């Protein structure tokens, strides 16, 4: 593994569901130490790293959320099974038979998601999707007391059990939590590229918390940073899957970064959007344009901070997000990092002033 792959493994293997982002924050802090001039946290736990340039302003906020979709223990039955609730959006069909890790005060507890066996279902029940509320986590126990003795308590966070893997072609990676550890990793890439060269602004790399449950960390961290420009680093949904039509989603793995023309919480600043397109064209970086009609990003609270912040969302295409594991392309990741670096280098005071509507 090269340095990028090693960090992608470290940060995707880390556990960090909404409200429990500590291990991810520690990994991000280690990676940014020695690059950033200073690193602090806001009151919710979002990490804010500052990289000074030749001017204190404009302030460019690069935001990637540290949390991943996961679960929380909500009840332990007398028979020793664990009922759970989702933290973030989950599609019921991807859950059954998957392994999970419960993070307890006594250490990790591994379990499997299960439901009533199909052999015992009525014929009409077999044709229905099993809903989360009918599922449980089996940790191999036979009583509530046994579950409590191994450390499981109501409120404990639960993460998918999945490990970073380099796939057969050597250029695609399988891991959990690309949404949005890929954005956190891009912050590190940009800091590495710009730490040793002048840039006409001050960069704030922000790992936000609790995005998957309401874009919460972006709101408090934007208040702390008071940015002049917001660049949200995210994943992009892909449509290069069997039985999907291009009009549903035309984004493809390996075809370059994604620029969102719309998400459920933000329409980008049009001049900043056009600048991204111009920079990509100038550099010969293929750029995919997409809209996200459902769901939202940290751009929502960032772009309405104070008097308003010109903002845009850039993403790395990722297959199978909000499941136990997804797939990204290294080529897309590298191209996105390069695009962000070159964009930041152009965001001087004059350019930012021209972003005004």
- Give the residue numbers marked as catalytic: 211
Do the Cβ atoms of 14 and 164 come closer than 8 Å?
no
| Closest listed residue to residue 88, CA positions, set 16, 152, 22 | 16
Locate 50 and state its tokens. 């500052």
Q: Where are the beta strands (DSSP E) in the chain?
A: 38-41, 47-51, 59-65, 70-76, 81-87, 99-104, 107-114, 136-138, 157-160, 165-166, 172-175, 202-208, 229-237, 258-262, 288-291, 311-319, 326-329
CB count within 10 Å of CB 178 equals 28
Burial of 144 (0-12, 13-18, 19+ CB in 10 A): middle
Which residues have C-beta within 8 Å of that of residue 352, sequence separation ≥ 6?
58, 201, 228, 229, 310
With tokens 């290069």, the residue in question is 240
Q: Determine phi and psi for 277, rounding to 5 degrees.
A: -65, -40
**Quick one: DSSP state of residue 132?**
G
Locate 242 and state its tokens. 């069997």
229-237 vs 311-319, strand pairing mode: parallel
Do the Cβ atoms of 257 and 335 come closer than 8 Å?
yes
| Closest listed residue to residue 294, CA positions, set 250, 237, 240 | 237
Label residues 319-335 b or e (16+ Cβ within 10 Å = b).
bebbbbbbbbbbbbbbb
Q: Determine phi and psi for 283, rounding to 5 degrees.
A: -90, -5
Mapped onto helix, strand or coil, the DSSP state of residue 133 is helix
What is the distance between the alpha carbons of residues 104 and 102, in angstroms, rounded to a whole number?
6
């Amino acid at each position: 593994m090269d340095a990028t792959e090693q960090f992608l493994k470290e940060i995707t293997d880390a556990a960090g569901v909404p409200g429990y982002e500590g291990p991810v924050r520690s990994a991000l802090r280690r990676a940014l130490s020695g690059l950033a001039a200073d690193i602090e946290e806001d009151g919710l736990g979002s990490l804010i790293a500052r990289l000074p340039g030749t001017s204190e302003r404009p302030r460019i906020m690069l935001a990637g959320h540290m949390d991943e979709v996961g679960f929380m223990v909500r009840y332990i039955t007398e028979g020793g099974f664990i009922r759970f609730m989702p933290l973030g959006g989950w599609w019921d069909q991807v859950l059954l038979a998957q392994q999970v890790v419960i993070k307890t005060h006594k250490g990790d507890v591994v379990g499997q998601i299960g439901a009533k066996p199909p052999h015992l279902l009525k014929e009409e029940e077999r044709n229905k999707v099993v809903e989360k509320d009918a599922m449980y986590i089996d940790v191999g126990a036979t009583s509530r007391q046994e579950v409590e003795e191994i450390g499981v308590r109501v409120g404990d966070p639960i993460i998918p059990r999945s490990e970073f893997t380099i796939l057969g072609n050597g250029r695609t990676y399988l891991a959990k939590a690309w949404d949005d550890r890929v954005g956190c990793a891009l912050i590190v890439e940009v800091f590495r590229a710009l730490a040793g060269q002048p840039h006409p602004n001050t960069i704030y790399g922000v790992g936000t918390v609790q995005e998957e449950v309401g874009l919460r960390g972006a709101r408090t961290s934007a208040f702390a940073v008071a940015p002049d420009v917001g660049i949200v680093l995210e994943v992009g949904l892909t449509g290069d899957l069997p039985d999907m039509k291009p009009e549903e989603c035309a984004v493809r793995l390996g075809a370059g970064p994604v620029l969102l023309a719309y998400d459920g919480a933000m329409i980008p600043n049009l001049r900043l959007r056009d600048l991204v397109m111009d920079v990509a064209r100038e550099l010969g970086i293929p750029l995919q344009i997409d809209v996200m009609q459902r769901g939202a990003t940290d751009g929502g609270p960032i772009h309405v901070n104070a008097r308003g912040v010109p903002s845009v969302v850039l993403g790395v295409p990722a297959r199978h997000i909000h499941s136990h594991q997804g797939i990204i392309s290294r080529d897309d990741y590298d191209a996105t990092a390069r695009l962000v670096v070159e964009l930041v280098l152009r965001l001087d005071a004059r350019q930012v002033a021209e972003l005004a509507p």
